[in-house]
Amino acid sequence: MSDSKKRQALPTGAERELQIYALGLSGGKPSVPMPLDLLEQKAKEILPPRAYDYVAGGAGGEDTMRANREAFYDWRIVPQMLRDVSKRDLSVELLGARLPAPVLLGPVGAQEIVHNDADVASARAAASLGLPFVLSTVSSRSMEEVAQSAAKVAESPRWFQLYWGKNPELTASMVQRAERAGYSALVVTLDTHSLGWRERDLHHGYLPFMLGQGLANYFSDPVFRGLLPQAPEQNPAAAIQLWGSLFSNAALTWKDIGFLRQHTRVPIILKGILHANDAARALDAGVDALIVSNHGGRQVDGSVGALDALPGAVREVNGRVPVLFDSGIRRGADVFKALALGARAVLLGRLYMWGLAVAGEEGVRDVLLNLVADLDLTMALSGYTCCRELDASALCRSDSREPLCQPQL
């Protein structure tokens, strides 16, 4: 069977609505609650409190998490009428691949704390819809296992996210393993050389990695194993301790990016850019794309809302490389606003974790289908047929309610 046969075409918003209403006629429901507050509430009921808090929480007083959402409220869509929106195409080109919609599953570590099938379920759900999946360095299953399992569903882009630690041989080993396993881009997360001050996790005294969760890529790595006197299976405590001593590297600087270039041929994407100066440095470093993100508010409390940082980064990049966005995406309108402000595509974090917690692979797939359907309807009802058409003239600031530019009539 060809990939396109195994892969489910993304339904339009109206088709998805009809599927759900038809299901309702026979007393059925999608695998996940439709209102997002109920989805998160259901996940909260299912998960142990410390696992729920690990996913839901952020740094300090969680001001940055709030700022992420408030940044979306500051913009309003200004719909335009009578523009023949009967045929729509949500696909976008990204690093040589055409995605059926501008949505990726972002890197989320230690997924086993919300569901046993963890990263395998998420990667399979993404593959079934042809959407990219970004595997975290601190995944619960090894990068090879996730790649094999997802490829059985359908071929769709898989990227590897790197937490760049202290041991260069280990970093090189992970990067090369990822390339061999078919991960077609390297996402280097810059904002987590230390864990943010996360009050909820500190309150529970809980960090999944200290229990050996999320360390599959380390425990399966030949360089990491070679640094241990006994295998991780025999002496997990020593392996966890070694992980703790190597995980992060606060000494890295822009000069170090060259090291990664020497060890991989795949595109390099920097995640965690907020300052326009850093967008300029990223271009100087010759990277292939960047992700404007504040890690979902998990790192610096009181940081700028990620969407507020997007226009400055987009201006600086000026079309030279794609700019992606995450932190706070929940609904179609959020994706619309991020694209209108210059993002090529967006990544999801907590949103798909709630789907995974509630219904595993099917839950992640339903979350994706719902988000894309919502985006499709938002575009159609606002007068747009494809992502390329979106720019800031589609929006106004919520305090002015005036379009930024005069719409083209």
**Closest approach of Cβ 301 to ligand FMN, in Å?**
14
327 part of the interface to ligand FMN, by CB under 6 A: yes
Q: Where are the alpha helices (DSSP H) in 129-272?
A: 143-153, 168-180, 199-204, 216-219, 222-226, 236-246, 257-263
* Residue number with CB closer to ligand FMN (267 or 349): 349
Binding mask 169-208 for ligand FMN (x = CB under 6 A): --------------------x-------------------
Distance separating alpha carbons of residues 36 and 330, to the nearest angstrom? 8
Q: Which of 33, 100, 107, 305 contacts ligand FMN by CB under 6 A?
A: 107
165 part of the interface to ligand FMN, by CB under 6 A: no
Q: Report the candidate in 223, 232, 310 with the shortest Cα–Cα distance to residue 263.
A: 223
Take residue 205 and report the two structure tokens written for it: 């005294």
Question: Does the annotation mark 295 as catalytic?
Answer: yes
Site for ligand FMN in 204-263 (CB under 6 A): none
* Residue number with CB closer to ligand FMN (128 or 189): 189
Site for ligand FMN in 109-128 (CB under 6 A): 109
Distance separating alpha carbons of residues 164 and 105, to the nearest angstrom? 20
Distance separating alpha carbons of residues 302 and 145, to the nearest angstrom? 38
Q: Which of 7, 76, 350, 365 contacts ligand FMN by CB under 6 A?
A: 350
Q: Report the candidate in 289, 277, 284 with the shortest Cα–Cα distance to residue 319.
A: 289
Query: How many residues make contact with ligand FMN (CB under 6 A)?
Result: 22
108 part of the interface to ligand FMN, by CB under 6 A: yes
Those residues whose C-beta lies under 8 Å from the C-beta of residue 198, and which sit 6 or more positions away, are 57, 58, 59, 60, 298
> What distance, in Å, lies between the first and last C-alpha atoms of the chain?
46
Residue 289 per-residue DSSP state: E
Q: Which of 55, 239, 377, 390 contacts ligand FMN by CB under 6 A?
A: 55
Binding mask 273-302 for ligand FMN (x = CB under 6 A): --------------------x-xx-x----
Distance separating alpha carbons of residues 377 and 375, to the nearest angstrom? 5
* Residue number with CB closer to ligand FMN (142 or 327): 327
Q: How many residues does the chain have?
A: 409
The half-sphere exposure of 251 on its side-chain side, counting CA atoms within 13 A, is: 6
Binding range to ligand FMN, per CB under 6 A, among 82-90, 91-99, 345-353, 357-365: 345-353
Binding range to ligand FMN, per CB under 6 A, among 7-15, 115-123, 327-335, 365-373: 327-335
Distance separating alpha carbons of residues 68 and 153, to the nearest angstrom? 34
365 part of the interface to ligand FMN, by CB under 6 A: no
Residue nearest to ligand FMN (CB): 349
The half-sphere exposure of 406 on its side-chain side, counting CA atoms within 13 A, is: 2
Q: How far is CA 390 from CA 70, 139, 196, 393, in A?
A: 21, 35, 35, 8
329 part of the interface to ligand FMN, by CB under 6 A: yes
321 part of the interface to ligand FMN, by CB under 6 A: no
Residues at the interface with ligand FMN (CB under 6 A): 54-55, 106-109, 136, 138, 161, 189, 271, 293, 295-296, 298, 326-329, 348-350
| Residues with a known catalytic role | 295
